Structure 1
Amino acid sequence: MTDFEAEALWLSLRVAAASLLGILPVALLLAFVLARGRFAGKWLVEAAVNLPLVLPPVVTGLVLLLVFGVRGPVGGWLRDSFGVTLAFHWTGAALAAGVMALPLVVRPLRLSLEAVDHGLEQAAATLGAPPLQVFLRVTLPLAAPGLVAGMMLGFARAFGEFGATVTFAGSIPGETQTLPVAIYTALQRADGETSAMRLAILSVLVSVAALFVAEWINRRSLRTARPR
């Protein structure tokens, strides 16, 4: 493995992990609201969450650039107030990957939350458990398979993100050139096919490893949640 390939692999893992950690609280909140909420305009929230699935990734990247770029309303405020710049930075790549992965984390988690037995939650509340404790100790463990599935899908989507990332964060070696971007860059060179193939094999190995880990966690969570 060359330094170029190792750098792209490490950056992709870093971006995927950061994006997943960043969107997980948002995904939990959105999944709970969509699973349990009863309010006007709920379909608008659901449509907004799923929008990255139907939009071309380049369009999503362009929207992020308009909003979070140095001339955008949010990006300009972050730069002027905190000196933070997201566009063409690895944190911007994580933001783009997180936005694209968010719907895939929310959906399985929402389905698991909808399948949780409300009677168990009510029993815990009757015994004096506050709402937050009921959620953390009853609801979330029962919804763990959906959470694990969502995290697996989200990590895989973030790890393989290309269109939104290259539009919003560019292709800067060592900064935003993730594995998919590096594969595309290698293919643009006359002698880059071998490097692109090695990068593709790396991506497959990482994806397979993530599937094994997710399956192991899922089996453990099912055994823990199963009544004894």
Structure 2
Amino acid sequence: MSLWQHGRRRWHGRHFRQGEFAPLFGPPPADEWVALDFETTSLDPKRAEIVAIGAVRIEGNRLLTGEALSLKVQAPASLNGQSVAIHGLRHQDLQEGLPLEEALCQLLAFIGPRELVGYHIAYDLRILNLACHQRWGLHLPQRGIEVSRLYHDKIYRRHPDAVIDLHLAAICEHLALPPLPAHDALADAAAAGLIFLRLTRGGPLTYPKV
């Protein structure tokens, strides 16, 4: 971890050096990350409310799917037909969901000090930080690793004239990764984790010319 990253963690954790949130601000373990995805009621972070959480730990070159976190959250008032059409989670599907605060506490304990990986991870981090700030005044130190950016940059370095499709399904297909259900928090987190491992642990990529 760089001095800048260490300073960022100390700054964000200055009010949480004791108590349940202190582990979030320690040094991240070597070769460990967490792939994260939310399903929400809106694409607007200021209006979005979380309905499902998926997270998978990555250690070295392994995606630890056997230790994944998959949580449903109690249906918020903003859950409507438009968002249900995307993620498929109806009010009745969330009857046994956790209160959001409890779900967030489980997620933060699962993440710990690890860096976060995801597809559109900036959105998920914004959602997470808004929810944590509203409840505890907490802001996480992680900046997030965007797998579509890793993919784009790796292709572009070798094939600068390629027209690069950055849709999640297209990336997975090109990397010969197994197809997973779309708009499912745990499946999307696992897909992001697999992409991350393929790009950081695999060899050079070819790309069809257009």
The TM-score with structure 1 as length reference comes to 0.27
Q: Which has the higher contact order (CA 8 A, sep 6+)?
A: 1
Structure with higher Rg: it is 1
The TM-score with structure 2 as length reference comes to 0.29
More helix by share: 1
